[in-house]
Amino acid sequence: MVTNPMQALSNKRLFTPGPVMMSPDILKIGVQQTPYFRNKEFSDLLLMCETNLLSLVSAPKNSRVVFLTASGTAAMEASIVNLFTCDTPVAVINGGSFGQRFVDICQRHRIPVDNIQVDRDDLRDGLVLDSLSTGLSGLLINAHETSIGHLYDIAKSGAYCQSKKILHVVDAISTFVTDEINMLSQYIDVLILSSHKGLALPPGLAMIVLSPSAIERINRHNEFLYFDFFYYLENGVRGQTPFTPAISIFLQLYARLSELERSGIEHSINKANSLANYFRSKIERLNFETYSTSMPNAMTAVRVPNNIDASLIVSRLESDFDCVVAPNGGSLKNLLFRVSHMGHMSLGDIDVLVQGLEYIVKDICK
Ligand SMILES: *Cc1c(COP(=O)(O)O)cnc(C)c1O
């Protein structure tokens, strides 16, 4: 018998770093008809989203937001093609697959890149920026390298960029809402966000917050149409986007940002922190270790004991307990799995996950 893929996909607890579980309020908005958008009402909504977002990330005065209907990677690529050229190199802090993505994008567009590869041991004593070459036009970093659950010291990379007068481009896709992001104190010029991580909305909407100095640096002759930041900034003045946006996600974004404004971003950060601490204290008792020396609240990368295969845990958590955690790839496939603390989640959800883990470990080791 062929199973219905819709049925097979639904009703699972998501501990994946995107997508994440959404709140009932956000889900309710998703069932409405998609409204028409070339009107004053939608413009008002978009402008309020921009104002709220700028305030939540402590953006410098006169910063602007580009709303792209696309996944997070498109926002990374769009930022690079709008702000850099083949003439001057950029540096990328590359500690995993999302750092590598920045490198890949630069290489595709023939932008010279100083690829600063760092592994967990290099990071034990913090980010070292002494070896960066001179004459850079920007530094690209993922605030949280989601492939290994490492949170970088972006206040430090920001201070470095500030001293060298180069653009500080921060991918905070898996950082915003669960961990601190402050464009002023962390000297962020370009902040890359997307809808389906900490914001806990469906995938499809990406946001790039540009400081005034980033806006000044946008390339005049961009060969792209869909990605042309000028086009978005121009339309954004009247609360519109150049092309049909993910309208329904905008409605959800409006609700989510208003809620964050009301409760305060601190509240969300603290909640993620309690979930993360709760989970970490539970797995310690199972002899599992945490992988990174600097963990975000957003996620935990779990190192399993040597006699256990991490990829087996991932598949059994899903098949036996309807809990979806994220596997690792490459050389870490059998060593690590990742558990997100983003989205609409409670301590009770973590209890279910931990009970599943306990059962599977006992079963494997018996
Ligand atoms: C999820 C994520 C992205 C974006 O990935 P998409 O699959 O394009 O949405 C980018 N950077 C980081 C750090 C992420 O965690």
Is residue 145 helix, strand or coil? strand
- Residue type (1 letter), 79: S
Q: Using CA atoms, how far apart are residues 43 and 289, in angstroms rounded to an integer?
A: 48
Report the chain's mean pLDDT, rounded to a whole number: 96
Mean pLDDT calculated for residue range 97-103: 98
Q: Using CA atoms, how far apart are residues 35 and 12, in angstroms rounded to an integer?
A: 30
pLDDT in the model for residue 33 = 97
Using CA atoms, how far residue 65 sits from 61, 71, 231, 246, in Å, is 12, 16, 12, 15
**Ligand 1 lined by 147 (C-beta under 6 Å):** no
Q: Using CA atoms, how far apart are residues 345 and 22, in angstroms rounded to an integer?
A: 9
Q: Using CA atoms, how far apart are residues 344 and 223, in angstroms rounded to an integer?
A: 40
- Looking at ligand 1, which atom is closest to the CA of residue 196? 9
- Residue type (1 letter), 185: S
- Looking at ligand 1, which atom is closest to the CA of residue 203? 9
The 10s digit of each residue's pLDDT in 211-268 is 999 999 999 888 899 999 999 999 999 999 999 999 999 999 999 999 999 999 999 9
The 10s digit of each residue's pLDDT in 259-297 is 999 999 999 999 999 999 999 999 999 999 999 989 999
143: which strand partners? none
Residue 130 clears pLDDT 90, i.e. is over it: no
Residue 124 clears pLDDT 90, i.e. is over it: no
Residue 325 clears pLDDT 80, i.e. is over it: yes
Residue 157 clears pLDDT 90, i.e. is over it: yes
Rounded distance from Cα 197 to ligand 1 centre (Å): 8
pLDDT in the model for residue 178 = 98
- Looking at ligand 1, which atom is closest to the CA of residue 145? 13
The alpha carbon dihedral of 68, 70, 75, 78 has a sign of negative
**Ligand 1 lined by 72 (C-beta under 6 Å):** yes
